[in-house]
Structures are given as C-alpha cells and as structure tokens.
Structure 1
Amino acid sequence: MPRLTNKQRRAVRYLTQSALASQLSFRVAFQAADYLHNDARENWRDFLDRLHTGYPVKGVGIKAMPSNLKAFDADDGGFLHLEEDLNPEDASSELLSFPYQAASAAYSFTLLEGYGNDLADIVNPGYIAGRRAWHHGVHGDADLKDPTQLKKAKEGFTKPFNRAAPEVKNYTVQRLVSLKRDRNAFMHDAKVGVDFQKFHGMVMGTIAALHFLVIPTEKQLSVYPYFDYHAKWK
C-alpha cells in the first residue's frame, strides 16, 4: 500500500483529533439533555408548574390548501399554526415520545460519515465521488458469519483508504454493520429503539480504527476537549 507523506500524516492526525473532540463534546451535550429529560419525567409536578408559567410550549396545527403551501407560518399566510393554546399536561405527555436517543445516534453517525469521507480525500484523493459515502461498500444487513460476505465487507471498509482487507479486524467491520443497521432502522423505518451510549461507543471505536488503519505505526489517540483537572490528558 502507498505510504503517506508527512503532510498527509499531519492532516490525518488533525482530522482525527478534531473528529474525536466533536464526538466527545456531543456526548456531553447528550448527557445534559438526557439529564433534563429524565428530571422532567421524575419531577413531573415541578415540570408542569414551569409549563404553567407563561405557557412556553404551544400547540401546533396545520390547515393546508393548494394556495397556502409557499409559506410555512400561518401569520405569513402559510399552513402551520404555531401558537395555539395547549394544556401543559399534553405537552408533558408528548415528552415521552421524543426520539432523542435515536436522533442523537443519527447525528453522531453523520459526523462519522463526514470524518471517513474527509479521511479518504486525504489518503485516496478522488475515491469519493458524487453522493457516495466512504462506507457504501459495507451493508447494514450483511451476515458476517458468511465468509463471502465478511470478505466483501472488509474490502468495502478498507478500499476507500487504499488499504488491504486483512488489515481491518472483523469486530471493527461488525461495528460498522451494526451502526448502519441501527441508523437505517431509524432513518428509513422510523424505529427508535437505539441505545445512544452504546451506539456512540461504536462510532468512537470506528473513528479510532480508521485512524490506526491509515497510520498503523501510531500507538495511541488521546483526546479530552475540556479542562484537565487531574493531568491525565497531557
């Protein structure tokens, strides 16, 4: 396989560090949102009291006609009525149905996709063309117990980065298959049963695996995008 130039190595390191920092920051954002969501559920009386103060959550309705589809807001002559009176109990009950874990997982995967595309552009310029993503050769419904499908998936994983299939671990490819399966279930079938923290761990492992795939001499990645209280991340 072609060796990377020093410039490419620097670009890969910077890209990976930035991608990991973004993912770590997003996980903290998720934890904060998860805390607020759970607090509202567990202390629902306090939450209802806040909703009764000024009624910040409004009802939304739609009155659509062929003649009013150009604008969204009814105040502008459109079809969405965004300021309807709403019982706070109704707003509270809807909180349970918001698919924030699945939506967060989909966003995390989008960041992974962008990282892989940018990585391929550095190490294998011209491979990513049109709307094709780096992971197009790995399918979410692949059965990796089948040796033929396993071989094909490993080739699909490594080809965008000018690497040979044996250079990637089986479990790394299985992670990507699982990620694509769960992402597709949400994006295409509206299934929301995703454990974000597990999903995010697989995303982080995939980013690290891609980095070590293209720079196999690298020994460690260490990223912590916040103040280091214990001198652990120097």
Structure 2
Amino acid sequence: MSTKKKVYFLIGAIILLALTILMSYYYSIDQYGQPMPADLTTSPENDEENSTTDSGSVEIDSTDSGENGDTPGIDEEEITSDREDFQDALEYAYNKTGILSTNGSTPNEENFYYQFWLSHEFYHHLTDSPMEEEERKEDARFQAQELLVWKKIAEREYDWNYSEDRFQSFIEGEEMSEEDDAPNDFLVNDIQNEDDDLFLRHLESKYLKLFIWHEIQSELQEQSPPEDGEDEEMHEYRLFQQFAEKVMDEMN
C-alpha cells in the first residue's frame, strides 16, 4: 500500500472513530436510553417533511427554519446562489461519472466506486481541489475496496452478516446529520430523488463502516477487556486501532 493510501486510510479511521465517540455521547445524555431521532439531511429548499423512498428506505427529515420558513440572518440571494452552484457541481459529477446509467442494485465494489467517485467530482467542482482526475478515481477505488474489506473481516471473524433492513434501522435510529454541510445535504437529497438503489448505496458508502463497528463492537469488547488504567474511550480507541490494522494487513 502506498504512503498516500495509508494517509487516506488513517484519516478515514480517525473520522470514523470520532463519529463513534459522538454517538456514544448522544446515548449517554439520553435519559431514557433510547436512540436519538434520525436527521440524515436537511432539505435546502423548504421545511416540508420528505417522505421515505418507495422501497421503504431511510426517511430524510427537514428542519423547520421558523415561521413561514424564513431563517433570520440568512441572505436568500446567497442561498439561491449556493443552490445553483450545488446543482452545477452535481450535474458535472453525474455526467463525469455516468453513475445514473449504472445498476446500483447490489453493494459491490463497482457500485461503491461510483459513489466515492461521484462525491470526489462533486466536491472537486465546488472547491477546485488539488487532486488530479486520476488521483480522484484511484482514491475512489481504494475507498470502495477498503469498505468491502471491512465487510469481509466482519463476516469472517465475527460471524457478522449484512442486512439492508438492519442498516436502515440503524440509520434511522442514530443522529447522522452533518451539521452545516449544505453541499452534502443537497447531494443526498438529489440522489434520493433520482434512484432508490443509488440512494441506498450512497448511504452505505458513508455509513456502512460505522454500522459494522456498531454491530461488532460488543464482541470485540468481550474478546479484549479493558486493560489496567484504561478508560472506556481509550479501550474503544485501542479496539478500533486493532481492527483498522487487520483491514490494512488484508489490503497489503
């Protein structure tokens, strides 16, 4: 594995661990011990509730922005300009990747590759990132392969199996919104409107690692109890690092 890929992997691992710790915090402050309400995305266009997709997939909630849908202190012209930028970037990414003409019905490497590539092209068009096109495609392929290695190790070593129903329940039962990430909200909502299968694959590309970790974490804790002087957070970090090392070894 090249040094660049190792850096990408470590950055992804750190982000995933941070999300896991944040989830644990939400659980700790919920006095009834129940999962927090799902709020995957906030619609950038209005404050009406979005319905679930026809396949019964994840519900995307919108946030009420106040009386008559007005948000104090927000420049409506600026919002409109942002939406136009997002739409331009997304159309560019759709055309560049050709993802809308693919068959996204199964969670395989090729479909995950297109999802990661789509995100790369979308944000590249918005921010003019320094990554060259081949680097963006190479990284998308790497992320797709890494995600499947997570799945493979979980299945092989922890008797874990993937279920779309459990995954969707997990998404609905956790706080998954990325605050102040309007481009992401726009991207997710548009994919949901385009195709149910592509929408599910997109959610998997973003949250499948977190779902796997959530489901195998208790077994990992049983196999490797806390060491002397190790608090809960340190214990979780050590377990995560051990699993991440297995993934890296598998990919080498």
Instruction: Check whether TM > 0.5.
Output: no
Task: Name whichever structure is richer in helix by fraction.
Answer: 2
Determine which structure has greater relative contact order: mean sequence separation of CA pairs < 8 Å that are 6+ residues apart, divided by chain length. Answer: 2
- State the TM-score bracket (shorter-chain normalisation): under 0.3
Bigger Rg, structure 1 or 2: 1
With the length of structure 2 as denominator, give the TM-score of the two structures.
0.26
